[in-house]
Amino acid sequence: MAQIMKQAMKRAGTTALAFGIALAGTIAFGASPAAAAYKCNGDKQHKEFSTPGLNTDFYIKLCVVRESGSNKYVAYAYGNWKDGGGVVDKFEKFDIYLRLEQGDVAKASSYCEMGPAIYLDATADFDRYGDENGFALDCDLEATKNTTSRNNWTADAFINYNINNDGKGTQTWSLGGTGSIA
């Protein structure tokens, strides 16, 4: 009887160990069949703008994702700025145009007027829902599309900006897009 108990305990321990290793592998390597596909730019893209007062630095990163277990594709942006705010508006315009693309063809888009938030906050982070202090309430830096077509999805964007009192009018900063996902 003692021998049977030893064998049963050994089997239970081996089974528990095997389950633990499999679970750890799934967590460590994301080996889930329902895992989301995603791709982001390597580093945040950066531009320093020669604005009134201190120059304003703006950082942005683009991502594209297929949500886990669904046919929903999402392009989104996040980042931050430094040296905004001040007694004079930094920008007459600072608008971000985000696109969810399939094979370089826009399938969905969104828009964010970020200028007022940059004017009101010296430094802040933003994500797909606006800035951290809620000054860019009309922002929507998320473009979505439901589809069963699973190839060549990317995120791309550009920013139209007009620096206050510089006499140059509206200019465009074209951002580098993401790699593609299926």
For residue 32 the two structure tokens come to 């889930």
Residue spans of the domains in the chain: they are 1-31, 37-174
CB-facing half-sphere around the CA of 72: CA atoms within 13 A = 9
Kindly calculate the radius of gyration of the chain based on its CA atoms and give it in whole angstroms: 24
pLDDT value at position 51? 95
Residue closest to 145 by CA, chosen among 72, 79, 87, 91? 72
Per-residue pLDDT of the chain (182 residues; tens, 9 = 90+): 444 444 444 444 434 434 343 434 333 343 333 457 889 988 899 999 999 999 999 999 999 999 988 899 999 999 999 999 988 889 999 999 999 999 999 999 999 999 989 999 999 999 887 777 777 656 778 899 999 888 899 999 999 999 999 999 999 999 999 999 98
Residue closest to 56 by CA, chosen among 79, 83, 80, 78? 83
Pick the CATH number of 37-174 from 3.20.20, 1.10.10, 2.60.40, 1.10.150: 2.60.40
pLDDT value at position 137? 56
d(Cα 52, Cα 122) in Å, to the nearest integer? 13
For residue 135 the two structure tokens come to 């000054």
